Structure 1
Amino acid sequence: MATKLGLGLPQNRKYDLGRDVPDVARTAEAIGYDSLWVYERLLVPEPATQGLYGIEGLPWPDGYRGVAEPLVTLTLAAAATERVELGSSVLVAPLHTPFRLAKTLATLDAASGGRVLAGFGTGWSHDEYAASSVRPFEERGAALDELVEVCRAVWGPDPVSYDGHITKIAPAVVGPKPVRPIPILLAAGPGPALRRLVDHADGWLPVAMGAEKLAAQWRAVQELAAERGRTRPIRTVLRANARYLAQGHSGGRRAPFHGSVDQIVEDLAAHAEVGLDEILVDLQSETRDAQELKDVAAQVYGKARAAGI
Structure 2
Amino acid sequence: MTTRLGLGLPQTRQYELGKDVPDVARAAERIGYDSVWVFERALFPEPATQGLYGVEGLPWPDHYRDVADPLVTLTLAAAATERVELGSSVLVAPLHQPFQLAKSLASLDAASGGRVLAGFGTGWSLDEYAAAGIRPIEERGRVLDEVIGVCRAVWGPDPVVYDGEITRIASAVVGPKPARPIPILLAAGNSRALRRLVDHADGWLPVGMGIEQIASQWRQLQDLAAERGRTKPIRTVLRVNAEWSAKPHDGAGRRPFQGDAGQIVEDLVAHTEIGLDEILVELQTTTRDAEELKDVAAEVYEKARAAGV
Aligned to 1:184: 184
Deviation at 1:258, TM superposition (A): 1.0
SS in 2 for 1:87: strand
Q: CA separation in 2, counterparts of 1:281 and 1:56? A: 28
Q: In 2, Cα distance between the equivalents of 1:57 and 1:250?
A: 28
Aligned to 1:86: 86
1:30-179 maps to which residues of 2 (within 5 A)?
30-179=30-179
Q: Distance in 1 between matches of 2:133 and 2:114?
A: 28
Partners in 2 of 1:258 and 1:197 — Cα distance? 30
Q: Is the 8 A contact 1:92 1:122 kept in 2?
A: yes
Distance 1:186 1:133, change over 3 A: farther
Partners of 1:306 and 1:142 in 2: how far apart? 45
TM-score of the pair, normalised by structure 2: 0.99
CA distance in 1, matches of 2:135, 2:91: 15
State the secondary structure of the residue aligned to 2:37: strand
Give distance in 1, aligned partners of 2:13 and 2:158. 41
Q: Among all aligned residue pairs of Structure 1 and Structure 2, give the percentage whose two residues are the same amino acid.
A: 77
Q: Is it true that 1:27 corresponds to 2:34 in the alignment?
A: no
> 1:198 matched to which residue of 2?
198
Once the two structures are TM-superposed, the CA of residue 61 in structure 1 deviates from its matched residue by 0.7
In 1, Cα distance between equivalents of 2:218 and 2:191: 14
Structure 1 residue 251: deviation in Å? 4.2
Amino acid at match of 2:211: A
Structure 1 Cα separation of the partners of residues 269 and 78 of structure 2: 29
Corresponding residue SS for 1:118: strand
Q: Give the gaps of 5 or more residues in structure 1.
A: none
CA distance in 2, matches of 1:290, 1:133: 34
Q: TM-score, normalised by structure 1?
A: 0.99
1:240 aligns with 2:272: no
Q: Quote the offset at 1:74 in angstroms.
A: 0.2
Residues 276-287 of structure 1 aligned to structure 2 (within 5 Å): 276-287=276-287
CA distance, structure 2, for counterparts of residue 21 and residue 133 of structure 1: 29
Tell me, in whole angstroms, the C-alpha distance in 2 between the residues paired with 1:11 and 1:143. 26
The alignment partner of 1:41 has SS state of coil
